[in-house]
Chains A and B, each alone.
Chain A
């Protein structure tokens, strides 16, 4: 018999205090019944004697302290999962939003999940071809990796994410593939861009969407990414699918978390974000991965916008410490009309070394990748020097490096959002660009690869 409490003491922001509660447990899901009969969900944040502090998952408007009732349901927030979720659209709390019927649950899963045993993880090492040169060639994505896109306001992260979702494939076998997309506090237009892109390519049939728009209650956003990850876990580890999870925009999630923390009057960490932001983000990001003995995998591409393009802002900073690399978009390249404007030098995929090489991509991949990086870095330095001192100050070799840097941006990075480049083409372009430099400068490439792959008679202009 579930008890009902009419003892709501206060409602402040996303928090509510309920008095004289018995038999309630930490993190339990609650249900508030408004005088109108409307029901809203909440969860227990703190139990202190008979006082219970709960956090609302939905808006607090209309909650009347005297007439509203609270029930505690004896379980935590769950998501009904089933393979039928593919092709459906849900709101931020997992309710069907597309007018279709509710999901017939094959299982109900706690959205918070449990930590994965590190001994049960399988190391990600399968190359995913995204068809984007800057990713495949230089910051290779592998199955089970979490690789965020660090963007800025106004930069085309959505186009890049859609391109990745559209083009991604594993080269070896054909296996079941699905996309779980979570829109967290983004605008209607942005969400619609993704949905129509998925529809256009037919990907929508193997996509599960969770949509919390900017106009939806901010507090709902705390649950949305976890809903998506729970669905992804089900598809990956119960249905043996390879799931790509795209979450956009995690900055909005972190702000919702800050709102709750501020309402609880917790000691703030940097920029007012709670001290446990790292741990909180980690409990989501770490749900990506592969498990021993399981066919499926979760590959995660969270997108976040860096306030003021500042990489040291707590959200990108803490994210970078948890995820296995980052793809950073550059405003400078965007202004130069280079698309996708991936800032190659600070971007990184930590798992790339495990996903490339002779039997995965090609034997010369690692060497040419390092050479391209080093050459582009040196070329950029030379160009900087050139702007200060003029072209005459550069040595001949430096001038060639500067020329290389320009050509690299124009041909390698700038591929647009429609071109799907196989890895061989990406490597080929890399080699063509390297011919701009004197052969003696290709120190990072083994002589036998130069012998084998160096293209003759390339004209770079």
Chain B
């Protein structure tokens, strides 16, 4: 039991803490605020307090719990909204009102609720950490697996199916140190990653239903990506779209130091949206962590660890999990604030020197793994997608730079595009994906064998447009050759008819990878056939004025059977161009005759 000697914002220093260890959770003051030891000097401990410290005084008691900051893992997490240290916000609201009071004690996982446990292991089975004992249908889409906690191994001596609360024993395991009763809940310290058998290279795409992402800058299941952009460029909408439509089993959405209304939006909207794969509401597979910008800053620092630990737990069951963090810049600012209060020597722009290593540690917890337990064939993945909010949109600042060194996919948002209402405002010239190569095989095998060829074509057109654009700016459109004018127009079509995607439209918000391929196919077909027609004497204005172009423009909004509709558009293009070519041939014949006569 220690005593407070210093209070400075979220930082509290206590004396007489000799028995406590680094990163122990402590309870501070008469209200028993939750804090964590982040520095020890002699028996003086520096504590970051996860709640507002107003009202604390010198001499107030500080008590160590002797355990590091941990999350509770078990059935009941799905569809929940937690704060940065896994306190359930709905329960807090029903018990304490609209505002977040201090010193609240609410258990993270409902203790009363009974779950239908189905045993899959049997008495006599030899089990060790990570082995599955049974399952609980937590939501219609999540079959929660009850695993043997890490560090426990031995023989199952009792197990039964039935209705249990999370604290009741569902199985007993005889270990070397005696009997161990296993419940459906376990704890795990958030700052250390959960173990797995081995990491494997990610080579399956995370299909997000977003055209620019899946076709041009794909991310793998188990990959890492960053979405940097100045305010107003649509970061949050992109993050929401990924959370909604990604083909993963579980989504952990971390609202880290962002707007309260955005979390409310997720909370109210997700239950209404149906997952295109399961037909169930998206909320049934989502866990929300909300530490909004007005909530205590230290808990913001903890929130991303809380989120990724929950993700790891589901990964260990063999699920594909997406962790979406909005925004890592706010997390870094929380780190900076604590560092400043600790009077550490600052690195760049006041951020602590360990900023980039902390960021790297976070992203490295993503990945595709063979999990512990079973026969070693259970695969799970965590894809981590973090928003970055660079001040003034300037990517040379430390958080952006440190992030870019780690992540493999970079979706650069561009305010210029946003002003033109080109959404998603991902700049196709600055963005990149290092998974392009490893994912090509999968896409060529599973979507279409020309998938990557088509991507190369699209990128080529966009690059060419950027170069031609400069010429146009200098000398005007008229100076371009007909071929180049066609390229410019096709690039415009790629931008407007393919890359632009309306997140608020029912038909357009999600586009399957097959459909993306088919849509791009129309554009490419138009380009190739138009070039061909032009080489046979058709004028550029006729090609550009093709009636079916309007249909191409509306192709992304086609409802129902897109394959037929797209095939029809393609037939129209071909027949219209053929008509033009015939007319041109006839025209050149007549003009040739005229010359002869």
Q: Which of A115, A237, A318 contacts B294 (CB 8 A)?
A: A115
Known contacts A119-B81, A123-B268, A440-B550, A47 near B350 by CB under 8 Å: no
Q: Mark B304-329, 1 if CB is under 8 A from A, else 0.
A: 00000000000000000000000000
Q: Complex: how many Å from CA A279 to CA B301?
A: 13
Q: Are A124 and B337 in contact (CB under 8 A)?
A: no
A377 touching B420, Cβ below 8 Å: yes
* Count of chain B residues near A, Cβ 8 A: 71
Contact of A312 among B232, B340, B394 (CB under 8 A): B394
- Which one, A163-171, A195-203, A240-248, A285-293, is touching chain B? A285-293
Least CB distance, B494 to chain A, in whole angstroms: 15
> When A123-B265, A276-B337 are in contact, do A117 and B231 touch as well, CB less than 8 Å?
no
Q: Which of A50, A123, A289, A312 contacts B392 (CB 8 A)?
A: A312
Is A46's beta carbon under 8 Å from chain B?
yes
Q: Answer yes or no: B123 CB below 8 A from chain A CBs.
A: no
The distance in angstroms between the C-alpha atoms of A325 and B81, with both chains bound, is 25
A325 CA / B581 CA spacing, docked (Å): 51
A49-B349 contact in complex given A28-B55, A117-B92, A373-B421, C-beta closer than 8 Å: no
Q: Does B8 lie within 8 Å of A23, measured CB to CB?
A: no
- Contact indicator A275/B54 (Cβ below 8 Å): no
Interface 1/0s, chain A 113-129, versus B by CB < 8 A?
A: 11111111111100000
| A320 on the B face (CB < 8 A) | yes
Question: Which residues of chain B in 403-438 are interfacial with respect to chain A, using CB atoms and an 8 Å cutoff?
Answer: 415, 418-421
- Check B261 for interface membership: any CB of A closer than 8 A: yes
B260 within 8 Å of A (CB atoms)? yes
* Choice from B98, B418, B420, B553 contacting A116 with Cβ under 8 Å: B98
Interface window among B136-144, B472-480, B587-595: B472-480
Give residues of chain A (89-139) contacting chain B, Cβ–Cβ below 8 Å.
Answer: 112-124
Per the bound structure, the CA–CA distance linking A22 and B97 in Å amounts to 34
Residues of B contacting A113 in the complex (Cβ-Cβ under 8 angstroms): 99
Say yes or no: is A341 at the interface (Cβ < 8 Å to chain B): no
Q: Is the CB of A119 within 8 A of B93?
A: yes
A173 at the interface (CB under 8 A from B): no
Chain A, range 262-277, C-beta contacts under 8 Å to B: 266-270, 275-276
Known: A47-B7, A49-B6. A320 touches B231 (CB 8 A): yes
| Contact (A289, B415) CB under 8 Å given A49-B6, A279-B293, A317-B392 | no
Knowing A122-B264, A276-B297, say if A46 contacts B7 (CB, 8 Å): yes
The answer to the question of A332 belonging to the interface, with a C-beta cut-off of 8 Å to chain B, is: no
Name which of A61-69, A178-186, A250-258, A343-351 contacts chain B: A343-351
Contact A76 B54 (CB under 8 A): yes
In the assembled complex, the CB of B431 is this many whole angstroms from the nearest CB of chain A, namely 21
Residues of chain A within 8 A of B265, CB atoms compared = 123
Known: A270-B349, A275-B337, A276-B337. A116 touches B260 (CB 8 A): yes
Residue A278 CB within 8 A of the other chain: yes
Check B105 for interface membership: any CB of A closer than 8 A: no
Name A388's closest neighbour in chain B (CB-CB).
Answer: B473
Q: Are B478 and A393 in contact (CB-based, < 8 A)?
A: yes
Contact B89 A119 (CB under 8 A): yes
CA distance A275 to B90 in the complex (A): 31
Given known pairs A49-B5, A120-B93, A312-B394, the reply for A395 and B100 (CB within 8 Å) is no
Chain A stretch 1-53: residues in CB contact (< 8 A) with chain B: 22-28, 45-50
Contact among B101, B232, B292, B550 for A325, CB-based, below 8 A:
B232
Q: A117-B92, A121-B260, A289-B260 are in contact. Are A47 and B294 (CB under 8 A)?
A: no
> Which chain B residue lies CB-closest to A447?
B554
Chain A residues, CB < 8 A from B391: 270, 312, 314, 317-318
Interface residues of B in 223-278 (CB under 8 A from A): 230-232, 236, 255, 257, 259-261, 263-265, 267-268
Judge whether A326 and B392 touch: CB under 8 Å: no
Closest to A279 in B: B297
Asked if residues B55 and A286 are in contact (CB atoms below 8 Å), the reply is no
Tell me whether A395 and B7 are in contact (CB under 8 A).
Answer: no
Q: Is the CB of A118 within 8 A of B54?
A: no
With beta carbons under 8 angstroms apart, the residue of B7, B350, B475 that contacts A268 is B350
B370 within 8 A of A: no
Partner of A24, one of B58, B92, B393: B58
CA distance A187 to B114 in the complex (A): 64
Could you tell me the distance between the alpha carbons of A385 and B90 in the complex, rounded to whole angstroms?
Answer: 55
Q: Which of chain B's residues have a CB closer than 8 A to the CB of A325?
A: 232
Known pairs A123-B265, A279-B297; A393 contacts B260 (CB<8 A): no
Chain B residues whose CB sits within 8 angstroms of the CB of A59 once the complex forms = none
Question: How far apart sit A224 and B188, CA to CA, in the bound complex (Å)?
Answer: 44
Interchain CA distance A278-B100 in the complex, whole Å: 20
Question: Which of these, A26, A48, A320, A353, contacts B56 with CB under 8 Å?
Answer: A26
Question: Is the Cβ of A118 less than 8 Å from the Cβ of B6?
Answer: no
Does A374 lie at the interface of the complex (its beta carbon under 8 Å from any beta carbon of B)? yes
Checking A50, A292, A318 against B58 with a beta-carbon cut-off of 8 angstroms, the contacting residue is: A50
Chain A residues 298-353 with CB under 8 Å of chain B are 311-314, 317-318, 320-322, 324-326, 345-346, 348, 350-351, 353
Q: State the total of A-B contacts with C-beta under 8 angstroms.
A: 204
| Structural contact, B255 and A374, CB atoms closer than 8 A | no
Within the assembled complex, what's the spacing in Å between the Cα atoms of A112 and B330? 21
A115 lies within 8 A of B7 (CB) = no
Q: Which residues of B contact A116 (CB under 8 A)?
A: 98-100, 260, 292, 294
The answer to whether A48 and B99 touch (CB under 8 A), given A119-B81, A324-B259, is no
Contact partner, A324, options B81, B230, B261, B420, Cβ 8 Å: B261
Cβ of B116 within 8 Å of any chain A Cβ, yes or no, is no
A389 interface hit (Cβ, 8 Å)? yes
Which chain B positions have C-beta within 8 A of A60? none
Say which residue of B8, B340, B389 sits within 8 Å of A275 (CB atoms): B340
Cβ-closest chain A residue relative to B423: A370
Decide: A275 near B264, CB < 8 A? Known: A282-B294, A322-B259, A370-B421: no
* Complex: A350 Cα to B261 Cα, angstroms: 11
How far does the alpha carbon of A319 sit from the alpha carbon of B491 in the complex, in Å?
36
Instruction: Pick the contact of B292: A47, A48, A286, A348 (CB < 8 A).
Output: A286
A128 and B292 CA atoms in complex are apart in Å by: 25
Query: Which residues of chain B come closer than 8 Å to A76, judged between CB atoms?
Result: 54-55
By beta carbon, the residue of chain A nearest B15 is A49
Query: Is B162 part of the contact surface with A, judged by Cβ < 8 Å?
Result: no
Q: Is A443 an interface residue (CB 8 A)?
A: yes
Q: Is B333 located at the chain interface by the 8 A CB criterion? A: yes
The interface residues of chain B lying within 8 Å CB-to-CB of A312 are 230, 391-394
A283, CB-defined interface residue at 8 Å: yes
- Quick check: is B295 within 8 A (CB to CB) of the other chain? yes
Q: How far is the CB of B425 from chain A (nearest CB, A)?
A: 12
Are A27 and B89 within 8 A (Cβ)?
Answer: no
Give the nearest-CB partner of A294 in chain B. Answer: B98
B207 interface contact, C-beta 8 A: no
Q: Contact: A346 with B294, CB < 8 Å?
A: no
Smallest CB-CB separation from B293: which chain A residue?
A: A282
The interface residues of chain A lying within 8 Å CB-to-CB of B290 are 118-119
CA A278 to CA B333, docked complex, whole Å: 9
B7 near A26 (CB under 8 angstroms)? yes
Task: Compute how far the CA of A23 lies from the CA of B57 in the bound complex, rounded to whole angstroms.
Answer: 6
A326 touches B232 (CB 8 A): yes
Q: Which residues of the partner chain A approach B56 to less than 8 Å between Cβ atoms? A: 25-26, 47
A27 to B294, CA, bound (A): 17
- Closest chain A residue to B337 by CB distance? A276
A and B contact pairs by CB, cutoff 8 A, 7 listed: A27-B53, A116-B260, A117-B99, A120-B99, A268-B350, A325-B232, A346-B232
Q: State the 10 A-B residue pairs at the shortest beta-carbon distance, nearest first.
A: A312-B392, A282-B293, A27-B54, A393-B476, A286-B294, A320-B231, A25-B57, A114-B99, A120-B98, A119-B89
Residues of A within 8 A of B (CB): 22-28, 45-50, 76, 112-124, 144-145, 237, 266-270, 275-276, 278-279, 282-283, 285-287, 289, 291-292, 294, 311-314, 317-318, 320-322, 324-326, 345-346, 348, 350-351, 353, 366, 370, 373-374, 377-378, 385, 388-389, 393, 395, 440, 443
Contacts A120-B97, A286-B260 known; 6 new A-B pairs at CB < 8 A? A117-B97, A117-B98, A119-B89, A119-B90, A267-B350, A385-B476
